[in-house]
Structure 1
Amino acid sequence: MANPGSPGHPRRRPLRLLAITVTLALGAAVPSPAALARTSAEPGGAARIAKLTKEIKALEKSYGGNLEQLRDVRQDAKKAVERSRTLNTELAQARTIVAQLAASQYMSNGVDPSVQIVSGTDPNDLLDGAALASHVSASRAARVKQIQSLVGQQERTRREAEGKIEKLAGDTEKISKRKAEVQRLLKKYKPESPTVGNGGMTARMVKVRDEIETELGPFITIGCTRPGDPQDHGKGQACDFMESSAGSMPSAARMAHGDQVAAYAIKHASRLGVKYVIWRQRIYDMRSPGWETMSDRGSITQNHMDHNHISVF
Structure 2
Amino acid sequence: MPRTSPSRQLGRRALLALLAAVALLLAGGAVPAYAEPGEGGTKKLRDALELTAKGHIEAKAKLDNSKRRQAALTGELRTVEARLVELTAQAGEVAAHSYRLGRLTPTSMLLNTATPQEFLQRAADLELMAQRDGRRLRDLTDARQQAQQAKVAIDAEVREQQKQLAVMAKKKKEAEAALAAVSSGGSNGFSGGSSASAKPAPRNPDGSWPSESCSVDDPTTSGCITPRTLNALKQTQAAGYKRYVSCHRSGGDGEHPKGRACDFAAATNGFEDKTATGGDKAYGDSLAAWHVRNASRLGVLYVIWYRQIWHPGTGWRSYSGSGSPAADHTNHVHLSMY
Query: So what's the TM-score if we normalise by structure 1?
Result: 0.41
Greater Rg over alpha carbons, structure? 1
TM-score by length of 2: 0.39
